[in-house]
């Protein structure tokens, strides 16, 4: 009996060196039925050429690898959605979203698929993620906060509750989930997409599971660092407001405008009283204003 087909989607925005390390680990996977799609999000020409040459030189080992080059940077959600739609059109049973700054263990995919196949109600599973100074298993949602937290504690029975989410650095999703709730929400562009996707999957009736024995290694993302710290703060603030407006309980949503007002006042004071914090405070204020001006997707500073 043929194992389910898995399409691995690796999104690249520059940093072809990380992508190549990721692909080097992917080609060692034991799982017998997978294909790989590298989606390039309008990287520099040198970075695109690097990945073309690598795939060409390693084609025998990499087996079935497809390269997709976007004409513009579509962000984490948009770039991965290109890969998701391609994979579904090719008959994928599972989609494995994998950050390009990760590496996988040879048995990672076997363990993830085995766990997902054991329960038809499970819609998506995630591995343990080993970071430079800790191992994380899932994310935790706190309402009216500008950032989400990763947890170093395994969830009870390995299943998530409604205030927890699977981390997008490594995420195996069943085809049926993507056909029912579609892909990642491109309104975010960057940050909060995985938490939003997890909540929508659970609302659609699917269970989410962590598979601690499946392991990936995750470094810090050089792609996002290149965007610059103030811009990242702006994305975090705007997207936190979007995420809360879409997903927070009805008891929380009325307080959203008061939280936004508090953040505005706090950062206005910082701009005038703490010159060293001016750029970061200005970026956070812009994030709040972006939300209320309905400026979603990619931010053009």
**H or E element at residue 36:** strand 34-40
Instruction: Show the low-confidence residues of the chain (pLDDT under 70).
Output: 59-63, 220-228
- Look at residue 14 in the predicted model and tell me its pLDDT: 93
Domain at 113, CATH number: 3.90.550.10
Looking at 167, 201, 224, the residue that finishes a domain is 224
Please check whether residues 209 and 233 belong to one and the same domain.
no
Q: Are 15 and 55 in the same domain?
A: yes
| Same-domain check for residues 57 and 193 | yes
Residue-wise pLDDT for 251-301, tens only, equals 999 999 999 999 999 999 998 888 888 999 999 999 999 999 999 999 987
Question: What's the confidence (pLDDT) of residue 13?
Answer: 95
Are 92 and 7 contacting, i.e. CB atoms less than 8 angstroms apart? yes
Polymer length in residues for the chain: 301
Domain membership of residue 301 (yes or no) is no
Is residue 1 included in any domain, yes or no? Answer: no
Verify that 218 and 233 share a domain, yes or no: no
Residue 129 resides in a domain: yes
The pLDDT assigned to 1 comes to 80
Q: Alpha-carbon dihedral of residues 33, 95, 9, 91, nearest 10 degrees?
A: 60
Q: Domain limits at 286?
A: 228-292
Q: Among the three residues 224, 248, 278, which one is the final residue of a domain in this structure? A: 224
* 130 and 268 assigned to the same domain: no
Domain assignment of residue 298, yes or no: no
Report the pLDDT value the prediction gives residue 57, as an integer from 0 to 100: 85
Q: Where are the beta strands (DSSP E) in 201-266?
A: 207-218
62 in Cβ contact with 12 (< 8 Å): no
CA atoms within 13 A of residue 134's CA, in its CB half-sphere: 9
Give one word for 157, left, alpha or beta, with left for phi > 0 and alpha for psi -120 to 50. left
The predicted structure's pLDDT at residue 60: 64
CA angle 48, 65, 8 (to 5 degrees): 100
Number of domains in the chain: 2
Q: Of 175, 208, 224, which residue sits at a domain end?
A: 224
Contact by Cβ (8 Å): 167, 124: no
Beta bridge partners of 18: none
Cα 142 to Cα 139: distance, rounded to the nearest angstrom: 10
Please, what is the angle between helix 45-57 and helix 16-26, to 10°? Answer: 20
């Amino acid at each position: 009996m043929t194992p389910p087909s898995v399409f691995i989607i690796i999104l690249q925005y520059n940093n072809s060196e990380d992508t190549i390390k990721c692909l080097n680990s992917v080609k060692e996977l034991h799982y017998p039925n997978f294909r790989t799609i590298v989606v390039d999000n309008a990287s520099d020409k040198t970075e695109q050429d690097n990945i073309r040459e690598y795939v060409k030189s390693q084609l025998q080992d990499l087996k079935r690898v497809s390269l997709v080059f976007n004409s513009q940077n579509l962000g984490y959600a948009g770039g991965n959605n290109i890969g998701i739609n391609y994979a579904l059109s090719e008959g994928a049973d599972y989609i494995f979203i994998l950050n390009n700054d990760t590496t996988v263990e040879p048995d990672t995919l076997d363990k993830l698929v085995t766990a997902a196949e054991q329960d038809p109600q499970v819609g998506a599973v995630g591995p343990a993620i080993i970071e430079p100074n800790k191992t994380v298993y899932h994310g935790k949602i706190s309402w009216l906060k500008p950032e989400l937290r990763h947890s170093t504690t395994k969830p009870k029975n390995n299943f998530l509750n409604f205030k927890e989410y699977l981390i997008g650095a490594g995420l195996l999703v069943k085809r049926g989930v993507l056909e029912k709730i579609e892909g990642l929400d491109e309104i975010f562009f960057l940050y909060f997409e995985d938490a939003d996707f997890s909540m929508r999957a659970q609302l659609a009736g699917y269970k989410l599971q962590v598979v601690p024995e499946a392991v990936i290694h995750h470094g810090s993302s050089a792609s996002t660092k290149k965007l610059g710290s103030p811009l990242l703060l702006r994305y975090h603030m705007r997207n936190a407001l979007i995420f809360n407006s879409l997903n927070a309980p009805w008891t929380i949503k009325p307080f959203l405008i008061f939280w936004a007002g508090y953040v505005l006042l706090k950062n206005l004071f910082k701009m005038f009283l703490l010159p060293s914090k001016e750029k970061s405070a200005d970026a956070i204020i812009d994030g709040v204003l972006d939300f209320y001006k309905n400026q979603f997707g990619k931010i053009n500073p």
